[in-house]
Amino acid sequence: MPPVVLVAVGVHGLAKQGLSALDVGWLAVTVLLGVAFGAVRAATTVLYARNGVLWQRYTAKTLVVWVATFAAGVGVGALAITVGMHPEARSMPLSIGVGLLGEALVVLLRSRVAGVPLSTGKR
């Protein structure tokens, strides 16, 4: 489960840092934004049943949300550093991981509503 691994790597890397309260606050903001953008991204995907399992396909809207996610991450990161967050307190693996987790949770919920099991990816 790659998103969980990315989150674990990010948290492990941050555990070695001497994080200030400001750092933790900005990390919380970026985690919430990552999950939210992941959820929005998942809403732009197409889910369809094939051979009795549910498959996911990205759309052009998904690409737009990826670009917006990247832009927002750069903007929020720059703002955080401007107001005093330590640059070392930013974690790319954590940011990517929480975004993918947000996406996965929404896709999982949508699959439950559809009543079709998710594909394991094996063809």
Token pair of 32 as six digits: 């919430």
- Tens digit of each residue's pLDDT, the chain (123 residues): 589 999 999 999 999 888 999 999 999 999 999 999 999 999 999 999 888 888 999 999 999 999 999 999 999 999 999 999 999 888 999 999 999 999 999 999 998 898 887 777 665
Place of tokens 């001497």: 18
The one-letter code for the residue type at 27 is L
pLDDT, residue 51, reads: 86
Could you give the 3-state DSSP secondary structure of residue 64? helix
What's the CA gap between 99 and 77, in Å, rounded? 15
